[in-house]
Amino acid sequence: MSTTAPTSVPLRQDVPVAERWDIESVYDSIEAWERAYKAVEARLPEISQVQATLTDSPATLLAGLRLIDEIAEAVENLLVYAYLRRSEDATNSRVGEITDQVVGLATRAEAAGSFVGPAIAALSDATITAWYETEPQLRLYRHALEQIQRQRAHIRSAEVEEVLALAGEMGNAFETIHDSLENGELPLGTIKDERGNEVELAQGNLDTYLQSPDRRVRKDAWECSADAYLKLQNTMGATLTGAIKRDVFYAQTHNYPSSLAAALAPTNTSEQVFRNLLDTVWANFPVWQRYFRVRRRLLGLAEGDLHGYDLEAPLSSDPAVAWDRGVALILDSLQPLGSEYVETVRQGMIDRWVDRAANLGKGGGAFSGGGYRTYPFISMTYQDRLTDVSTLTHEIGHSMHSHLTNTTQPYVYSGYGMSAAETASNFNQQLLGASLLAANDERGWVIAVIEERMANHQRYLFTMPILARFELACHERLEAGDALSAEWMSETLLGFYREGYGAEVVIDPERMGITWARFPHLFMNFYVFQYGIGISASAALAADIMRGDRAATERYLTFLRAGGSKDQIQALLDAGIDMSSKAPIERAFGILSGYIDRLESLVE
């Protein structure tokens, strides 16, 4: 038995600069951030100074909106720096302090500008329409103003909106608590790796062991990490309950019939889109159960012996793909989008958009994040695997969406809905998968590529819709006046997993049930369903573009450039995808069935 000391995760300062994002391009130090903070804070009174005259004339409205955008953009820059610094090392207490500080500033800025909605809502449609003619530059804000007018019935008085905005910082505390627990204070324990060495599990390296070809290692990692969450299940449950109570509170105070309706309203997404996704996924659980059977056979497991810790087990050796080669594969796959898109990505890698190494305190998973003034940064842990290449191109899809939006749209439209966001990211993965399969027909390579495609779809068209139904159940339970508990949450989620897995996966009730505690997405109410919308839309868009449809390519790039200047479901419709129907989701499951057919043909 080995007596080697546990392998430690490196400290942040020990990560090579080339593997870290260029956070100094935002502010070169915390001291510089603090100076910028003070300058922005000093401008907050300017917001309240325009309140009395905001809707006196089209000129005062335009000036007021421009001022508020200018300050909001500056606050966003401060937030981006703080959040990125916290994500790179949650153990850094100073970063935690400035994050709390700027969240407070953002709350005060939002409260200061909370009069805008009520003031706009009080204007008649005829008045605003006439003002567009009087002041043509106001037309830039037409879509933003129409969004406010559309939600008139849910906008309260200026005084009430100010109080609700001030309460926002308290509402955001639940996610902060979960993040601090998970990334800074939750020891996942130690296991023995494939060589018998003791290793310390962390959010940044957990996936490596969950995906180990050694069944004992992945079983230990799966059980050890799940048990860590189980030890804190009541704390995690109370934290999530607080966030759901927040959602219910805001829905009720804004006169929405439900939390779901309140969450969908800002993006003008119908409940039909949400429910179509869940209904279609549930109807296609047999597709997933067929995949689980094929997976079990490829792993050489007996019937009835596929466990939760086998669902990420490699079906073949994950091809080693070093960073430079991975980037080259991505650039090659993106050629259908044209040279401008490809060269922007290439330069982004040179400019250090990506933070790619594991370190103590760095969160697991991957994300793209930035602001209107910053690079569209990417956080991930690149471990020289084919799956990491796919993760990278996914996040590049997000980052390029932000880049194209920010270089096309004014600040007011720099944001976009998550259904649109997930379309852009999954689109890149669709292109990569097709490119990799076309490049090599060797059995192991084909299995590895299809396995990655299936894993991605399993996350977005299986796990995320299950979580969406779970959060719907949680919100509806609270709205009905019943209590939530960690035990109820686990039992409810487990029931949905049982439906999805059928008889194909052995159920470990406690460890599967606690899965809800692993997903910070649940603190952003009704966020997760949009993954399913995005991956379904991306499949159809990519299929058309890969057929050489140049008009489809231009429609897609126009979609990326639109940002928040259109409602996301309308933007998808303009790109050729109607998410009010089940057809795009069924089309995605058709693609999955084709992958399963090919996998089944490779079973030896």
Q: Looking at residue 4, what is its pLDDT?
A: 38
In the chain, ranges of CATH 1.10.1370.20 domains: 270-322+402-604
Q: Which CATH architecture has domain 270-322+402-604?
A: Orthogonal Bundle (1.10)
Cα 123 to Cα 148, 253, 593: the distances in Å are 10, 22, 53
- 133-157: b (≥16 Cβ within 10 Å) or e: eeeeebebbeebbebbeebeebbbe
CATH superfamily for domain 24-166: Oligopeptidase f, N-terminal domain (1.20.140.70)
- DSSP labels for 315-366? SS---B--HHHHHHHHHHHTGGG-HHHHHHHHHHHHTT-EE----TT--SS-
- DSSP labels for 360-405? TT--SS-EEE--TTS--EEE----SBHHHHHHHHHHHHHHHHHHHH
**pLDDT tens string 515-556:** 999 999 999 999 999 999 999 999 999 999 999 999 999 999
Instruction: Please identify every stretch of the chain with a pLDDT value under 70, giving residue numbers as ranges.
Output: 1-7
In the chain, ranges of CATH 1.20.140.70 domains: 24-166
Q: Are 427 and 396 in contact (CB under 8 A)?
A: no
Q: Looking at residue 94, what is its pLDDT?
A: 96
**pLDDT tens string 558-596:** 999 999 999 999 999 999 999 999 999 999 999 999 999
Q: What angle do CA 550, 368, 380 make, to 5 degrees?
A: 115
